[in-house]
Structure 1
Amino acid sequence: MNAQAPRQVQDVELRALIDAIYLQYHYDFRSYAFVSIKRRIGAALARFGFDTVSELQGKVLRDATLFGALLDYLTVQVSDMFRDPEYFRVLRERVAPVLHTYPSLKVWVAGCSSGEEAYSFAILLRECGLLSRTLIYATDINARALEQARSGVYAIDRLAGFTENHRRSGGTAAFSDYYTAAYGNAVFDRSLRDHIVFADHSLATDSVFAEMQLVSCRNVLIYFDRGLQDRAVRLFRDALCLKGFLGIGARESLRFTSYAAAFEPVSQEHRVFQKVGA
């Protein structure tokens, strides 16, 4: 009995912290997968030097700057350009030809983190002759990540990986055409950024804001509980025009959501779907 007490107390403290964050800062993590949140808060305790979750909570509620740093632990910050290249190859070969039938395009990259996927879409759409008629909405709840994304600046030592992913995705131009390198960083071309709107949006609390032809939300749903997964997929369904496309992460599925019947697979292997019903 006593051996279990510390874990039970920690769970209670974690739930209290999540509730307090919602009340104080209006960020809703209450329906995120609890095991994942617990692991991330443990890492934050070690990073910030707190012994207990309650101690962290007391500081976070009085220090918005600390909360901003904590948000980096609570949100997913792992990304790459053209991550999972075969996913982008499917979009290039099977989705882009359909997108050509629209006079204008809106693309939503949900959970864009520090912007790598948004720039990947801008490059892919340029190579497919579609960027000039496209507006990309790249959204996240992490203000610091969005600021990084808006800058379009990435460490130059990441460029080799980006370049290889682009090649494997079926890239048709030299990847070096899209950035300028200087002082250890790569700055992506302004002509790409001009087609991207970076904005705050929460899949847990916010609603649909435009009609889209393509939504990409990858490696985000796995951090949600079943109820929040349903909410997110409903948002994507409602945002998409009929015959619009949805892409999700390699370890994610629509199968067990309440809205699976609204989609049919374009590539089940690479998690690309098309909206077929209301």
Structure 2
Amino acid sequence: MSQSEFDAPQRISDFDIELKLLLEAIYLKYQHDFRHYAISSLRRRLSQALDEFGLKTLSQLQDRIMRHGDEFSRLFQYLTVQVSDMFRDPAYFLALREHVLPRLRTYPSIKVWVAGCSTGEELWSLKILFDEEGLTERTLFYATDISPDALARAESGIYTLDRIQGFTQNYLAAGGKRSLSDYYHAAYGGARFAGSLKERVVFADHSLSTDEVFLEAHLVSCRNVLIYFDRGLQDRALGLFENALVRRGFLGLGSKESLRFSRHYEAFDEFRPGERIYQKR
């Protein structure tokens, strides 16, 4: 959420005033910074939270979470968006397979950062992709998110069986070389993907709002995360990715995201613009 949105001359609604105060309170008490998330998305999600909590105003919600930490844990799921699919946007993964991985193959060791990994679908998709291209043994994956719950679910690698058909269709469209069923087994009433795929994966809490670069990466995949940030926070995150990437390293964004209007645009070449894959200059 940008300060300029609140400083505009038009009248600010009571809801937006309370929203600003709520986000400031969350930052001061819990050190989670949502102040620069896209305001339209926050309005929608916090309106849903009010219904869930049975409250009428954000001031009431602020009072609740300030006094009860477990209530903030309930609210956290509304502040973060955990929506993903395995091999989402198959053309992206096909482009990685055919155009990016052949270049990464020239490195003796590879590091991949899955930023905003949510519940792990993209991480396991990349693990499968690297496995099929024979790069697993020399690749270390870092999966990060601000949500402890999302990280725990990602690490478990368990998804409901009703999602498997969609995962399989995406996998095949992304150039899958085997059967997706080779990578999971039925467990806990769902499909568990972790198993051997979990090897050479590091899960870590990391905030694109407040934390700094912690590794040197050859590929950063951060897809459908920036759309929830305002322009200033987008630039901050992209600056982290630029600093993390090795020379000629690759950055993958979501289908609705772009570097085009970022101040970091000149630092990258449009390697596969249709699939939102960029290469650091």
TM-score interval (norm. to shorter): over 0.9
Aligned to 1:269, the other structure's residue is in SS state helix
Aligned to 1:114, the other structure's residue is in SS state coil
Conserved 8 A contact 1:119-1:192: yes
Query: Is 1:22 aligned to 2:27, yes or no?
Result: yes
Conserved 8 A contact 1:75-1:142: yes
1:103-162 CA distances to partner (integer Å, 9 max, x unpaired)? Answer: 111100101111111111100000010011111111100111111111111111111111
TM-score (norm 1): 0.95
Conserved 8 A contact 1:180-1:189: no
Q: Displacement, 1:182?
A: 3.4
Distance verdict in 2 for CA 1:232–1:189, change over 3 Å = closer
How far apart, CA to CA, are the structure 2 residues paired with 1:131 and 1:20?
43
How far apart, CA to CA, are the structure 1 residues paired with 2:64 and 2:136?
45
Q: Displacement, 1:195?
A: 2.0
1:53 maps to a residue whose letter is: L
2:270 maps to a residue whose letter is: P
Aligned to 1:273, the other structure's residue is in SS state strand
How far apart, CA to CA, are the structure 2 residues paired with 1:214 and 1:96?
10
How far apart, CA to CA, are the structure 1 residues paired with 2:222 and 2:31?
22
Distance verdict in 2 for CA 1:140–1:189, change over 3 Å = closer
TM-score (norm 2): 0.94
Match of 1:174 in 2: 179
1:194-240 CA distances to partner (integer Å, 9 max, x unpaired)? Answer: 12211100001000001000000111111111111110000000000
Gaps of 5+ in 2: 1-9
Conserved 8 A contact 1:118-1:196: no
Q: Displacement, 1:191?
A: 1.2
Match of 1:205 in 2: 210
Gaps of 5+ in 1: none
Please list, as runs of the form range in 1=range in 2, the aligned pairs for 1:83-98 lying within 5 A after superposition: 83-98=88-103
Match of 2:86 among 81, 86, 92: 81
Aligned to 2:13, the other structure's residue is in SS state helix
How far apart, CA to CA, are the structure 1 residues paired with 2:122 and 2:53?
29
Query: Is 1:103 aligned to 2:108, yes or no?
Result: yes
Query: Is 1:154 aligned to 2:154, yes or no?
Result: no
Runs (4 or more) in structure 1 with deviation over 4 Å come to: none
Between 1:67-76 and 1:106-115, the stretch displaced more is 67-76
1:86 maps to a residue whose letter is: A
Q: Displacement, 1:36?
A: 1.1
Q: Displacement, 1:189?
A: 3.9
Match of 2:170 in 1: 165
Aligned to 1:36, the other structure's residue is in SS state helix
How far apart, CA to CA, are the structure 1 residues paired with 2:226 and 2:164?
27
How far apart, CA to CA, are the structure 2 residues paired with 1:257 and 1:184?
44
Match of 2:76 among 68, 71, 79: 71
Conserved 8 A contact 1:122-1:195: no
Match of 1:275 among 264, 277, 280: 280
Match of 1:255 in 2: 260
Q: Displacement, 1:188?
A: 1.3
Q: Displacement, 1:184?
A: 2.3
Conserved 8 A contact 2:94-2:174: yes
CA RMSD of aligned residues (A): 1.2
Query: Is 1:60 aligned to 2:65, yes or no?
Result: yes
Conserved 8 A contact 1:68-1:144: no
Match of 2:226 among 210, 221, 227: 221
